Structure 1
């Protein structure tokens, strides 16, 4: 069967039906998900998701209502994901590291029906939220009690085009933007990815990433499609990472370059141990070949698979491992059932090998951004000829004669650091929020310099960095800061980043 046939031929299903299919097909007693406190079988996960559905119904949550959660990635959060989908409501998972500065804008934009957070955060977040804020310690005993009685909510009709999740990601504005993720697109993308990666019932998927990030979120669906076991490990210490991979019997390990480097470093220091890893999958940023080689050395027989994508369509391309040596700089070929175009500034396709904007068509392209029509119109456009929705990624690259994609970077203010996408604008806005900072300019990281910020004001650099750590997630906090009397500007009134970069030459964190 061709690569393009399977996703197109299969009928669209709902997010929670992926779990239902897995529960029906998985071997009796097959483990679905585990965390450091225990494991659930597929049957147990299904039952807990029904209990969540019943609990949400009792709380008055209905179709289309947003349920915002800011919790660590545990089995309970997986049940909340599936249970919210059953209700026809919309899960809004936020990184526990998101600070008040961005949380305020997400609450205002998402307008959730209720909010669930860690117990210690209830009082603080309740001051920001106009809707009920519940602690996990209050919610989960109630869900567990419903689970004990085998509770089921009233039947709820859910359409595949309804929204399942809002994933908030950094944008070209100071505020995070919510990518609308309907059931149909999420399931198609998951199936198309799995057609390339081939998760199996004997796989143990070691997920280091939070469910609030789409890289972690989709591991839930991919594991269910493969009838695999998902191990949630985003709260584990870095020091025990390699040991946890070995002890869990992990066979699939999703990585970003920083995590891969950490694993390789631990493998060099720790005595060789048994490992069942058969596949590393990378996304978030380009993986250096030296790191690929180090992973292959530390984990003999393991394949390293490069991927490329955006939350706005989940995944764009996957590089099959047999092409790792022959096309080491490629980010792969488009997903089955999808199409990648390389367009010039006028919207015309460029010749093979020429660079242009990466534009994506396919059933995985999301509808847009939540309550952000201007941003949506800019990124999500309709092809006037075919009528297909297109995602204009803002990324630039080329396609070779074999149809393999090569990424060349962004030509705006977006960049990735430690696998996390962010913008100079949002970091500058956070710096400007600090009393005493009159102006700020951010320099994206390069091979010779880490993320840096220049500020105008009377504050000491270490004070600025400390204040930024209170406003931003750790990956978004610069390593370097310099105070300047004024920010150099270009003739067009923009930050002259070339002159600013000179301030940091030869500087290390």
Structure 2
């Protein structure tokens, strides 16, 4: 099924029910369907057609959700862009996908105008303006919602491209991950199945809609007939908790940086969010110590530890009842998905051995936009000759019951004293050290060791010393895994998706 058709079906069934709460704005399913119909008709009249690429360069706001569904209703492809994206990166994306239009807002319009520059393809800027003066050549988002609705005859089917979502570019230029309607619907169906989303769920989302984890909260909400509470960020946690209590939130997707903020708060008690039913985590694994403390704070809440990547949305989840029995595991393959671990020759490894995780399922991407070389590295022949499976580039082991354990990125492994060290193992020990708020481990070239291990940490206890940290590691790690040096930082650099960036952390710091 096409994604916009899911909205249409739910709107017919639950038209008056609230689908979205964004600040003071509330939209029913019928209103979201009608507004996106109107914007689709306006975009169509401006020449946006089936297969065109349209960027959504907005903060988390109700208009962004309308824009996404409107673009799909024209048969076009939407590409969500993080609102913190700078003009040069935005210009690259515009040229790379030959975008026909960009939908933006307020001060972001200036960045969009600069980024478009001499683009020969991007002819249309649609801008939502609150108190900002109109920019020359832009069309008013508000005015485009006021046209008479008429059907847009795009004739699309569910194997058409729906979304082009650009990776954070941690290894170079960002790549456009191609997802068709069937990919998105398969992923949303699988996740709502194991999280058990229902019509009475009220899901909070502070994650950017440009981040697939945040974006899929919208698709999962609409598919389930639930309600989404959309907030701009988690910058003021107590204010977010007030919203969660007021709106009786039942679902709370978070990332490790959010968990770390919550666990540093001293004025919250167990049970302070009485309606909360589940918490999900992805982007990076939660340290076991953080999982234990979250469970103390939310004793009645189901906590899902998950693993995924943009190229297939989600790979695994750990059923909450397995948290005590599978410490460190990211779980089993999500419904309607197969996961296996292979060696360098593509042969399945024995339980307990380390290899590369491979994913097979209907949610695997179609490839990278116009990048055959990168696509060939990730999508390779599968068990059947007619299909391609996703080689994730991540090292895993699997136990005899099929539960998976993340070891590290293939290119993150530190080689020291002739041994291979997965940074995640050292980081887990660092996170268990009282007084450390955040930690990342890197390898530093060393003429004797090959690479030495350096821990980069952010402290919650400023009295903690490097010697105490190293002693803690020595008590809990094999000797070759103990950091040789500790570097203190005020904060750690993050990617657009909220992960700590190992690459950026390794770059020299300016004094």
- Mark yes or no: TM-score above 0.5: yes
Is 1:213 the counterpart of 2:211 in the alignment? yes
Does the C-alpha gap of structure 1 residues 45 and 253 become closer, same or farther in structure 2, counting only changes over 3 Å?
same
Aligned to 2:113: 126
**Cα deviation, residue 213, structure 1:** 0.5
Counterpart in 1 of 2:363?
364
Task: Count residues with an aligned counterpart.
Answer: 429
User: Residue 444 and residue 177 in structure 1: after superposition, are their counterparts in 2 closer, same or farther (change >3 A)?
Assistant: farther
TM-superposition CA deviations, 1:26-60 (whole Å, max 9, x none): 3x531101111311111111111111211111111
What is the match of residue 136 of structure 1? 128
- 1-side partners of 2:47 and 2:79: how far apart? 17
Moved more, 44-53 or 278-287: 44-53
Partner Cα separation in structure 2 for residue 233 and residue 446 of structure 1: 37
Q: In structure 1, how many angstroms separate the alpha carbons of the residues matched to 2:330 and 2:92?
A: 34
Rounded Cα–Cα distance in structure 1 between residues aligned with 2:452 and 2:277: 34
Instruction: Determine the structure 1 residue equivalent to 2:195.
Output: 197
**2:381 equivalent in structure 1:** 382
Note the alpha carbon deviations across 1:202-233, whole angstroms, 9 max, x for none: 11100110110000111111111221100111
Alignment partners' CA distance in 2, 1:444 and 1:144: 59
Measure the CA separation in 2 of the matches of 1:179 and 1:482.
31
SS of match in other structure, 1:127: helix
In 2, distance between residues paired with 1:371 and 1:324? Answer: 41
- Decide which of 12, 15, 18 is 1:31's aligned counterpart: 18
Deviation at 1:413, TM superposition (A): 5.4
- List per-residue Cα deviations over 1:288-333 (Å, max 9, x = no partner): 2332232223233111101111111111011111111111211111
**How far is the alpha carbon of 1:444 from its aligned partner?**
13
Cα deviation per residue 1:74-101 (whole Å; 9 max; x = unaligned)? Answer: 1111111111111110101100011123
Unaligned runs of 5+ in 1: 1-12, 418-423, 425-442, 451-464, 485-508
1:110 deviates by 1.4
2:115 aligned counterpart, secondary structure: coil
Question: CA distance change for structure 1 residues 128 and 296 in 2, over 3 Å: closer, same or farther?
Answer: same
Report the equivalent of 2:285. Answer: 286
| 170-179 vs 73-82, greater mean Cα deviation | 170-179
Is the counterpart of residue 179 in structure 1 residue 177 in structure 2? Answer: yes
After superposition, the Cα gap between the structure-2 partners of 1:472 and 1:179, relative to the gap in structure 1 and judged at 3 Å, is closer
The aligned counterpart of 1:253 is 252
Q: Which residue in the other structure is 1:15 paired with? A: 3
The CA deviation string for residues 103-135 of structure 1, in whole angstroms up to 9 with x for no partner, is 222112111101122232333432321223332
Report the aligned-residue RMSD. Answer: 3.1
Does structure 2 retain, via aligned residues, the 8 Å contact 1:358–1:396?
Answer: yes
* Conserved? CA contact 1:72–1:235, under 8 Å: no
**Which residue does 1:53 correspond to in 2?**
40
Q: Counterpart in 1 of 2:146?
A: 145
State the shift of 1:403 in Å.
1.2
Partners in 1 of 2:365 and 2:5 — Cα distance?
20
Are 1:88 and 2:75 an aligned pair? yes
What is the CA distance between 1:475 and its match in structure 2?
6.4
Distance change in 2, residues 1:262/1:242 (3 Å): farther
TM-aligned CA deviation for residue 242 of structure 1? 2.2
Contact (CA 8 Å) 1:242, 1:263: kept in 2 or not? no
Show the counterpart of 2:57: 70
Confirm or deny: 8 A CA contact 2:54 2:101 kept in the other structure.
yes
Deviation for aligned residue 1:447: 5.4
Is the contact between residue 309 and residue 316 of structure 1 (CA under 8 Å) also seen in structure 2? yes
Q: What SS is found at the alignment partner of 1:301?
A: coil
SS, match of residue 174 in structure 1 = coil
Is the 8 Å Cα contact of residues 234 and 258 (structure 2) preserved in structure 1?
Answer: no
Q: Which stretch shows the higher mean deviation, 398-407 or 292-301?
A: 292-301
CA contact (8 A) 2:341 2:397 kept: yes
Contact 2:351/2:397 (8 A) holds in 1? yes
SS of 1:406's equivalent?
strand
TM-score by length of 1: 0.78
Larger RCO (alpha carbons 8 Å, 6+ apart): 1
Change (3 A) 1:301 1:111: same
Q: For residue 448 of structure 1, report the CA deviation from its aligned partner.
A: 4.2
Q: Pick which of 268-277 and 78-87 moved more.
A: 268-277
Moved more, 151-160 or 41-50: 151-160
- How far is 1:385 from its partner? 4.2
